[in-house]
Amino acid sequence: MLSNRELFLRNTAQTSDSPRLTEIVKAQGTYLYGPEGQKYLDLVSGFNVSNIGHRHPKVIEAIQQQLEKYLHVTVYGEFVQAPQVQFATALLDKLPTSFGSVYLTNSGAEAVEGAMKIAKKYTGRRQIIAAQNAYHGSTQGALSLIGNLEYHKAYAPLLPEIGFIVFNDMAYLASITTETAAVVVEVIQGEAGVRVPDKAYMQALRRRCTETGAVLIFDEIQTGFGRTGRMFAFEHFEVVPDILLLAKGIGGGMPLGAFVAPKEMMDVIKSNPMLGHITTFGGHPVSCAAALASLRVIEEEKLLEQVDEKARLFCQELQHPKIKEIRGLGLMMCIQIENFNQVYNVSKYCADYGVMIDWYLHCETALRIAPPLTISFDEIKEACQIIRLAIDKFC
């Protein structure tokens, strides 16, 4: 009989020539478990998904309760479903009053696609501007916004009339004009290696979009729901976007995404044509029940209160002469070393010794640190000790 690993390689689509092939049979709290008793302290959180840890009891309870009621019943936006309504209402309560409508999707890439559509229709314009080294997803529209042309070549032609600016560079803001429908940026560039912009830049970007009538879209798919120490990362910069993109940490481990906009902007998809943006499974009731429970956990357990202190402990414990820089905001962090060979070997050593870390799509010379917000101070010290040993050995 073939093993799960062999069947994985034979029967499931592969996204690289060298998958990690780490088999997981259980996840709980801050740990992942393998079939032979392996235990991994998770510093990746499913790429910023498991902000409240794996299988939080209150999320599991909410899922079980919804399972007793109904699963999928119809396409999103047609039936009144309490989990969708309750979660959308709770989410809007956490956002500035300029936001008035939530469109629930299956994923972050779908949220990107929907936001681009409403920005174009609302403004009557066609040009969309994104940032170099951005990552917004892999569907064709979202891929068009990735400012790394190596990822475009094999799939060309992608969306037309996409322009690119350099993130956190004031000089490029002049590229935003009255022809621009929308500017889409990550609040913190994730796959570029956790690039945190200057507050002055973000405020200037907001002003430029306001001056030109361009819709400002903030991608908080990685940064939302407490990852940076605020519920949403844009709060650090004292700016408010026109459209907000959410996913990953939104669902407490269940698949869910959303784009949030002012009601008058969102309403453009209602007519001319009717059903201008639809999804079958977006806002699945079980995912929405999990999302509402997760949001309540963040609040009730006061998970944001210790994020900065935990981030400082990581920085303190990761002092090492071979670490060139530690970048980040809150528990979205990056360890900059020298080259990918080091990154690969350090990551493998850490996994072998029970700490799961990773790297970045557009920055292969850095290690990703994004643990559940529930990680303890002792677990941080334990993880950092192993990371330091790995850097001693391979850097």
At CB < 8 A and 24+ separation, what contacts does 29-36 make?
29/53, 29/54, 29/55, 29/372, 29/374, 30/54, 30/371, 30/372, 30/374, 30/375, 30/376, 30/379, 32/356, 35/4
Q: Is the pLDDT of residue 150 over 90?
A: no
Tokens of 14: 């592969």
**Is the Cα torsion angle 304, 306, 308, 314 positive or negative in sign?**
negative
Could you read off the pLDDT of 318-333 as tens digits, one per residue? 999 999 999 999 999 9
Domain boundaries, the chain: 4-55+305-394, 58-300
Give the pLDDT mean for 278-298: 97
Could you read off the pLDDT of 152-169 as tens digits, one per residue? 889 999 999 999 999 999
Q: Is the pLDDT of residue 18 over 90?
A: no
Give the pLDDT mean for 200-225: 98
**196 Cβ contact list (under 8 Å, min separation 6):** 188, 327, 328, 329
Query: Structurally, what CATH architecture does the domain formed by 58-300 represent?
Result: 3-Layer(aba) Sandwich (3.40)
270 Cα distance to chain centroid: 28
Sheet holding 355-356, edge to edge: 26-28, 31-33, 39-42, 355-356
- Contact yes or no for 36/360 (Cβ under 8 A): no
d(CA 65, CA 289): 9
Nearest CA-CA partner of 246 in 90, 27, 353: 90
Matching CATH number, 4-55+305-394, of 3.30.300.20, 3.60.40.10, 2.60.120.10, 3.90.1150.10: 3.90.1150.10
Could you read off the pLDDT of 297-320 as tens digits, one per residue? 999 999 999 999 999 999 999 999
Give the CA-trace dihedral at 271, 276, 280, 281, to 10 degrees.
Answer: -100
d(CA 9, CA 35): 17
Indicate the pLDDT class of residue 7, thresholds 50, 70 and 90.
confident
Could you read off the pLDDT of 46-93 as tens digits, one per residue? 999 999 999 999 999 999 999 999 999 999 999 999 999 999 999 999
Could you read off the pLDDT of 37-48 as tens digits, one per residue? 999 999 999 999
